[in-house]
Amino acid sequence: MRPSLRIALPLAGAVLALDQTTKLLVQANIGPREAIPLIPGYFDLVHVLNLGAAFGFLNQEGLGWQRWFFIAASLLACGVIFWLLHSEEGNSRLGASGLGLVLGGALGNLVDRVRTGLVVDFLDFHVDAWHWPAFNVADMGISCGVLLLIASMYGQGRRRNRRD
């Protein structure tokens, strides 16, 4: 197995498992639209069902097509990630780690969309009435993975410049 896959696949599996486990716990213990304050005025556990994507993008009832659009987009993203893991981008540990985190997040939200058509979000950070959009472990994997990919590309660019 390629070294990049030995790094990326366990990370993807860990993000997927943690994401699905936390979502199941939320669904079993918190009613829809219910909030449990953990840090009053700043952080709640919630149970939000999201038809859309990050930050509520396309989170509207009646569109109907967004479920299939996001399933297709997730499958395409997974395909691109596997392609990148076999390319130069996936050769660095940092790049492979970033791709693994993004893959795990994409798969976590894909499982929700295939199973129910909705993504479960449950982490709600806010300051009094101003709320950051609720998110989940899959979203954290995607966000952290993208940051690692940016760092990897930046490092690769610096190495190329030193060689020139």
Residue 139 known to be catalytic: yes
- Do 119 and 139 touch, CB atoms closer than 8 A? no
Residue 68, C-beta contacts closer than 8 angstroms, at least 6 positions apart: none
Element (H, E) at 149: helix 137-163
Structure tokens at 69: 């659009």
Residue 121 known to be catalytic: yes
Residue 109, C-beta contacts closer than 8 angstroms, at least 6 positions apart: 19, 70, 74, 119, 136, 138, 139
Q: Which of 44, 112, 121, 124 is catalytic?
A: 121
Q: Which of 19, 44, 124, 139 is catalytic?
A: 139
Output the CA torsion 34→101→149→78 (10° steps). -100
Helix 137-163 and helix 93-115, axial crossing angle in degrees, nearest 10: 150
Which are the catalytic amino acids?
Answer: 121, 139
